[in-house]
Amino acid sequence: MDFLGIGAPETILVLLLAFVIFGPKRIIELSHDAGKALRNLANGAAAIQKQLEEELSAEKTGKPPGAGKSSPTDQENTP
């Protein structure tokens, strides 16, 4: 297990130090917060990718971005 030049002994040492410094309850909270942050980062990246794909496809077709979408106010004003 050699990830970024860090082997198994180094990983175990870092985990033990974190356990001693923060304690078991705080480690769980930190990992939970890290998971939330990664989820938010992934969602943000997906949203940016979707927006870029929409703009690129709109550029290829010559339509302005969001031309095929209808807003809630458009739906209210239609009979």
- The predicted model scores a pTM of 0.54
- Distance in angstroms (rounded) separating the CA atoms of residues 78 and 75: 6
Q: At what angle do helices 24-61 and 8-22 cross, to 10 degrees?
A: 120
pLDDT tens for the chain, 79 residues: list them. Answer: 566 777 888 889 988 998 899 888 898 898 899 999 999 999 999 999 999 999 998 888 877 666 555 555 555 555 5
Read off the tokens for 37: 């942050």
Q: Where are the domains of the chain?
A: 23-65
Residue whose entry in the numeric block shows the structure tokens 């979408």: 69
Read off the tokens for 38: 């990664």
pLDDT for 37 equals 96
